[in-house]
Amino acid sequence: MSKQDLLNLSIEELQEFCILNNLPKFRATQIWRWMYCFGLNKFNDMTNIAKGTRDALSEIAYISRLDISEIQKSSDGTIKWLLKLSDGSEVETVFIPQEDRGTVCLSSQVGCTLNCTFCHTGTQALVRNLTSNEIIGQLMLVMDHLKDWPSGKNDRKVTNIVMMGMGEPLLNYNEVSKAIKVMMSDDGISLSRRRITLSTSGIIPKIREAGEELGVNLAISLHAVNDQLRDQLVPINKKYNLKALIEACRNYPPLSNSRRITWEYVMLKGVNDSQEDALGLINLIKGIPSKVNLIPFNPWPGSLFETSTKKNIDVFASILMDAGYASPIRTPRGKDIYAACGQLKSSSEKIRKSNLNKLTPIYSI
C-alpha cells in the first residue's frame, strides 16, 4: 500500500485516517498542529506522540515538501520559485515583501486553458490541475524558506495570499478550496479569509460557491468594458459575458463596503486605455463596492501588446478617482526575474515545444 501524504488531507480526512489506522481522533489535531503551526514534516519531531506511534505513522504516511528546480531573487526583494512536481511538470510561486505585508502568489494549475491573449501562462501547452497538497505545499515551502514558523506570530512574514499565479483557480475549485480551508484553519496556519484573494477571469458558476463556502476576497480580471473587446482579450467572456459576470459580482455573498471586489485591469496601449474606457468602467461597476487595480501590462518575450504610457495610466486612474474609486496603479514587482503578474510560465512547455506555435494565441492590434 502506498503511503498517504498528510498534506493532502483536510482535518476531517486526517481524523478519518487516524481512526482507520486505530489511532484516537485527537491524534489528528496533534499532528495537524505540528504540521501547520510548527511546519514539521517528520513524525519523529512530534514530541507529544509516543515513539511507537511515530514509527507506526512513518510506515503509513508522510508529509510532503515540493522540490525546487530554481530560486530567483529580484533586486526588490521578490522571490520566485520554480517547483518541480512529482510528474515532472513545473509551476511557479512568488513571495512579494511589502512594507506592511508579505504576499504569497500561488499557482492553481500547471499552465492555463483560457488563453487570455496578453498572458504568458495562457501560452503554455501543458495544462493540468494542481492537487490540494501541491497548492498548500507552495505555501509551506515559502514559509520554510522564510523561517516563518510557528505560524500566527505577530511578526509573521507571510500575511496575505493571492491566487494569482499560474492557472484559473475556479476551474480547479475542489482542490483550491480544500487548500484554502487548510490555510484558514484556526488550529494551523490561521490566515484570515480577509487576507486571501481569489482571482478569476470570470468562471461565473463557481463565484457564488466560493463566496459562500470560503468567504475570501474576490478579484475579477476584467480588462475590457464591452463584450466585443473582452471576447478577444479574455476569451472565456464568450461563454460568460459581462452582464452575467457583473450580476454574479453584485451578488457575491461576502460583498460589503469593507469587503470590496477588486477589478483587475491590465493597461494595454491603444487597446483598452482610453478615457471612454475609464468612463465605461465606472458605468459597469456602478453600485458595487469596488476598488480597481490598474496593472501596467508586463511584457514577456514574444508578447504582442505594449504597456500604456504613464500619462494614459495616470489619466485613467484620475477619472476613476474622481468617481470615488480607489484605483492604485500596481507597481510591477520582480520585473527583473519575470515574476510580475502574467509573466509566469514554467519550463514544462519544453516538453511539447514543437506544439507551442500552434497553441500560442495570436492577437494583433
- Minimum distance between the CB of residue 16 and ligand SF4, rounded to whole angstroms? 34
Stretch that binds ligand SAH, among 19-27, 31-39, 196-204, 352-360 (CB under 6 A): 196-204
Q: Is 37 a catalytic residue?
A: no
115 binds, among ligand SAH, ligand SF4, none (CB under 5 to 8 A by kind): ligand SF4
**Residue 178 CB partners (closer than 8 Å, separation 6+):** 10, 132
Q: Tell me whether residue 152 is exposed, middle or buried, using C-beta atoms within 10 angstroms of its C-beta: 0 to 12, 13 to 18, 19 or more.
A: middle
**Nearest residue to 281 via CA among 260, 264, 258, 256:** 264
Among 342, 345, 348, 349, binds ligand SAH (CB under 6 A): 342
Among 90, 134, 148, 264, binds ligand SAH (CB under 6 A): 264
Given the complex with ligand SAH, which of 9 and 125 has the nearer CB atom?
Answer: 125
C-alpha distance from residue 347 to each of 57, 248, 270, 332 (Å):
36, 35, 31, 22
The distance between the two most distant Cα atoms of the chain, rounded to a whole number of Å, is 70
Assigned C-alpha cell, 318:
484620475
Contact 233, 272 (CB under 8 A): yes
With the CA atoms of 6, 9, 11 and 13 taken in that order, what torsion angle do they form, in degrees rounded to the nearest 10? -110
248 binds, among ligand SAH, ligand SF4, none (CB under 5 to 8 A by kind): none
Give kind and range of the element (H or E) at residue 346.
none
Given the complex with ligand SF4, which of 148 and 168 has the nearer CB atom?
Answer: 168
- Which of 92, 168, 175, 349 is catalytic? The answer is 92
Among 112, 127, 242, 249, binds ligand SF4 (CB under 6 A): 112
**Residue 322 CB partners (closer than 8 Å, separation 6+):** none
Among 107, 121, 262, 312, binds ligand SF4 (CB under 6 A): 121
Give the binding site for ligand SAH (CB under 6 A). 112, 116, 118-119, 164, 168, 199-201, 221, 264, 266, 295, 297-298, 341-343
Give the binding site for ligand SF4 (CB under 6 A). 112, 114-116, 119, 121-122, 167-168, 201, 221
